[in-house]
Amino acid sequence: MADRTVARRRHRPAHCLARDSEWRPPLLVRFSAGEAGAWLVDSIAPIVGESLPPASHVAVLEGPAVAVPHAPHAWALSGVVSSLKYATRADVTAMNAKGQPATCSRAEDTLAALIPIRKSEAWWALTQDERMGVMRAGAHFELGTEYLPAVARRLHHCRELGAAQPFDFLTFFTYAPAEAGRFDEMLRRLRATPEWAYVEREVDVRLHLAV
Ligand code: HEM
């Protein structure tokens, strides 16, 4: 048993530890899917719109590594961990009070979900206060906070990288197998909120850590 724990620690990816509420300056991250990487793919399911091609592994490459061409890949998605744009001090205080673990920071978090999302032109035509109003109407932050600290989350922004990006956001979560049911429950609740009416492409990629 001890040996298994050591083996798992040794193979834990030394990436995705920065929280979006803490990281300064912006961090460039690339999720590269192919035949190599610390995460093994369990499923790739289109929720809305076009899916992503099949792959067996996903590697998470951070910082300067993203400039280095990775081994042949099925697809690669890039995003930037940036500063908070909508969460208020009260939201952050509430999230911190529950505990906000960094993704990949706990040995028991052997499962992950990479959920790339693109929102519609109608969403981006709104002003920031209007977009925040839509998120508030569905209580996105309060709903999500209910699942802290069981779920570790990190948000990556893609629009800043240019018009060619296929998604606006890469959302990434890590959690323990015992929390998989609650994670799915959270997704069902979030997808039923008014915000999701603006989601025109969403793919649910489930992963487990290679040990
Ligand atoms: C642990 C549960 C969750 C919490 C605590 C949470 C919290 C938050 C917070 C605070 C923000 C705003 C960040 C900012 O101020 O810029 C945010 C944004 C966002 N979250 Fe969540 N969230 C959770 C789960 C999810 C899930 C499961 C998804 C996707 C399936 C998701 C998708 C997004 C997206 C796409 C944004 C960016 C929205 C935009 O800027 O238009 N979140 N989340």
- What pLDDT is recorded for position 67? 57
How far, in Å, from the CA of 11 to the mean position of ligand 1? 28
What is the rounded distance in angstroms from the CA atom of residue 41 to the CA atom of residue 23? 27
In a domain, 129, yes or no: yes
* Average pLDDT of the segment spanning 2-23: 49
In a domain, 11, yes or no: yes
How far, in Å, from the CA of 3 to the mean position of ligand 1? 37
How far, in Å, from the CA of 91 to the mean position of ligand 1? 12
- Provide the pairing of β-strand 57-62 with 73-81: unpaired
- What pLDDT is recorded for position 204? 98
Poorest-confidence range of 61-70, 74-83, 134-143, 194-203? 61-70
Is the distance from the beta carbon of residue 150 to the nearest atom of ligand 1 less than 6 Å? Answer: no
Q: What is the residue type of 73?
A: H
Taking the CA of residue 186 as reference, the ligand 1 atom at the shortest distance is 27
Taking the CA of residue 169 as reference, the ligand 1 atom at the shortest distance is 35
- What pLDDT is recorded for position 69? 57
* Tokens describing residue 81: 């961990």
Secondary structure tally for the chain: helices H, strands E: 6, 8
Is the distance from the beta carbon of residue 98 to the nearest atom of ligand 1 less than 6 Å? Answer: no
Domain of residue 192: give its range: 2-22+40-52+76-209
Taking the CA of residue 199 as reference, the ligand 1 atom at the shortest distance is 35
In a domain, 60, yes or no: no
- What pLDDT is recorded for position 30? 92
Query: Sign of the C-alpha dihedral, residues 97, 138, 78, 27?
Result: negative
Q: What tens digit of pLDDT does each residue of 37-61 get?
A: 999 999 999 999 999 999 999 999 8
In a domain, 29, yes or no: no
The one-character DSSP state at 18 is -
Is the separation of the CB atoms in 149 and 101 below 8 Å?
A: yes
Is the distance from the beta carbon of residue 190 to the nearest atom of ligand 1 less than 6 Å? Answer: yes
Q: Which parts of 20-123 are beta strand (E)?
A: 27-34, 39-48, 57-62, 73-81, 111-119
Taking the CA of residue 20 as reference, the ligand 1 atom at the shortest distance is 13
In a domain, 137, yes or no: yes
Q: What is the CATH number of the domain that holds 88?
A: 3.30.70.3420
| Secondary structure (H, E, C), 136-193 | HHCCHHHHHHCCCCCCEEEEEECHHHCCCCCCCEEEEEEECHHHHHHHHHHHHHHHCC
Instruction: Name the residue with higher pLDDT: 136 or 3.
Output: 136
- What pLDDT is recorded for position 13? 54
What is the rounded distance in angstroms from the CA atom of residue 99 to the CA atom of residue 87? 16
pTM: 0.91
Is the distance from the beta carbon of residue 171 to the nearest atom of ligand 1 less than 6 Å? Answer: yes
Is the distance from the beta carbon of residue 91 to the nearest atom of ligand 1 less than 6 Å? Answer: yes
Total number of domains constituting the chain: 1
Q: What tens digit of pLDDT does each residue of 170-198 get?
A: 999 999 999 999 999 999 999 999 999 99
What is the rounded distance in angstroms from the CA atom of residue 83 to the CA atom of residue 139? 20
In a domain, 132, yes or no: yes
Is the separation of the CB atoms in 206 and 33 below 8 Å?
A: no
